[in-house]
Amino acid sequence: MSLQLGDTAPDFQAETTLGTVGFHQYLGNSWGLLLSHPADFTPVCTTEIGRTSQLQNEFDKRNVKVLVVSVDGVEDHHGWSKDINEIHQTRIGFPLIADKGREVSNLYGMIHPKASGTMTVRSVFVIDPDKKIRLTLTYPASTGRNFDEILRVIDSIQLVDNYKVATPADWNPGDDVIISNAISTEDAIGQFPKGVRTVKSYLRYTPNPKD
């Protein structure tokens, strides 16, 4: 059975470019972003890991720790990291998990046999500090991830965890948000002093309460 939203992210211990890592221990009280890659020294993966490294400060701002898994060994990971750092003028600061035995890939359902019996799809897992899975995305092996979207979803999840709101289609940080239907309009006026805009009884907006 595949992992679902709200499930506890399975713990594991693995060798990485930063030494032996216990997944839950590594995350601590932080959020987690777990990304899978089909293989080392592959072009799309090279651009993705380079971009992830370039966005390290953005993940740090959101208290998100990144881990990358690929079905190759640590030595290959180190050699590949040198290429990535050179190409993208960056320095990878997060662990690349060696998963030659595919233990982590299978634990997280990253290998889809009808797509490939050996290579992982491009899986994305966002995990909260309680180790609950809050987002899953699956890209085909040939399609690079959209990291603006990953950051956008993390921003949305972290916002709605703190306020009784939801985010509408194409929302970006700073845009108006939707007030939860669990709150009456009368109570919403008191809870959201920036104002309540009613489109329908079930669709009410307020300016982003975080700003």
Nearest to 26 by CA among 45, 11, 38: 11
- The whole-number pLDDT of residue 71 equals 87
Q: Are 33 and 150 in contact (CB under 8 A)?
A: yes
125: tokens are 């897992």
Provide the residue type at 106 as one letter.
Answer: N
Least confident window among 3-17, 20-34, 75-89, 104-118:
104-118
Q: Is 35 a catalytic residue?
A: no
- pTM, to two decimals: 0.92
Q: How many helices (H) and strands (E) does the chain have?
A: 7, 11
Q: Per-residue pLDDT for 31 more than 50? A: yes
Return phi, psi of residue 193, to 5°.
-65, -15
Q: Per-residue pLDDT for 30 more than 80? A: yes
- Distance between CA 110 and CA 123 in Å, rounded? 6
Q: Which domains does the chain have, with CATH numbers?
A: 13-147 (3.40.30.10), 163-206 (3.30.1020.10)
pLDDT tens digit string along 101-148? Answer: 889 988 998 876 555 545 566 789 999 999 999 999 988 878 899 999
Q: Are 145 and 122 in contact (CB under 8 A)?
A: yes
Nearest to 32 by CA among 149, 209, 120, 158: 158
pLDDT tens digit string along 174-200? Answer: 999 999 999 999 999 999 999 999 999
- Distance between CA 26 and CA 188 in Å, rounded? 39
In the chain the first and final C-alpha atoms are separated, in Å, by 40
- Distance between CA 174 and CA 152 in Å, rounded? 11
Q: One of 14, 33, 34, 45 is an active-site residue; which one? A: 45
- Dihedral sign for Cα 199, 202, 206, 208, please: negative
- Distance between CA 180 and CA 173 in Å, rounded? 18
